[in-house]
Amino acid sequence: MPSKFKLVLFAPEIPGNTGSIGRTCVALDLELILIRPYGFEIDEKAVRRAGLDYWKHVKLREFDSWDDFLAREMPLREKLLFFENTGAKLHYDAPYAPDCYLIFGGETRGFPREIEEKFSHQMYQLPMFSTEIRSLNLSNVATAVAYECLRHLL
């Protein structure tokens, strides 16, 4: 088994996406980190429904804010990989490494401007070739990125 990496949701807004991402985390034996504020209550039925009966197995940690996450987790800057549809580089080129953090912004708001500016060189996106679409579903993106990271670490 490769070194563990972590999936981080910054201010998630849709409970079903969080539940689905939690299910992916269980499948890959990964920790799911949630950073407040949430657009829902974590015990909502919709979270559990999307996570099915796997939700009870999610290795979940919660933080009150981005600053709380940085202070308590103390991640190395180079281990923080952000995924946003405005990223300048493709997710294939991210420097996946053991113990990295795959960080995803809220579904409609993404990341705050200060995070995007401070970490602009660490922002990645999945390719989209059609002009008919603005973004991909967060749970699909998180799953695709998680498996790409796994592929690099195997």
State the pLDDT at residue 97.
95
Assign residue 116 a region (left: φ > 0; alpha: ψ between -120 and 50; beta: otherwise): alpha
Q: In angstroms, what CA-CA distances link 146 with 8, 44, 67, 102, 113? A: 11, 25, 24, 8, 25
Q: Quick check: is 1 in a domain?
A: no
Provide the residue range defining the domain that includes 88: 6-153
Determine contact, residues 116/84, Cβ cutoff 8 Å. Answer: yes
Indicate yes or no: pTM above 0.85: yes
Is the pLDDT at 65 greater than 90, yes or no?
Answer: yes
Q: What is the pLDDT of residues 9-51, one digit of tens each?
A: 999 999 889 999 999 999 999 999 999 999 887 775 766 665 5
Q: What is the CATH number of the domain that holds 100?
A: 3.40.1280.10
Q: What is the pLDDT of residues 85-131, one digit of tens each?
A: 989 999 999 999 999 999 999 999 999 999 999 999 999 999 999 99
CA 26 to chain centre: 14
Q: Quick check: is 88 in a domain?
A: yes
Q: Report the domain count for the chain.
A: 1
Q: Quick check: is 95 in a domain?
A: yes
Which residue from 84, 12, 85, 82 is spatially nearest to 50, judged by alpha carbons?
12
Which residue from 63, 72, 108, 90 is spatially nearest to 145, judged by alpha carbons?
90
